[in-house]
Amino acid sequence: SRHLVLERCRDEIGDWRFILHSPYGRRVHEPWALAIAGRIHALWGADASVVASDDGIVARIPDTDGKLPDAAIFLFEPEKLLQIVR
């Protein structure tokens, strides 16, 4: 399947939790997770917990008073992603 599923919810302490379900495996998810962590830090100045596995990526973003996080934190142009993770 080429479909990805993204869930967004608040965890027990009020932080945002994003769960990306993806069939692409750890080799794809690990560099992608590094790029996501960098983007979260750039946007919110927060050190997010971003974990990659064979089944997807889980990101925890501390609660923020500013713009709510959305799916855009996961979206990268392929060329830009290569520059980020090299």
Domain range list for the chain: 5-85
What is the Cα gyration radius of the chain?
12
- What gap in Å lies between CA 19 and CA 39, rounded to an integer? 16
Q: Identity (one letter) of the amino acid at 4?
A: L
| CA atoms within a 13 Å half-sphere pointing along the CA-CB vector of 20 | 29
What's the pLDDT at 1?
66
pTM surpassing 0.85?
A: yes
What's the pLDDT at 10?
92
pLDDT in tens, 22-44: 999 999 999 999 999 999 998 88
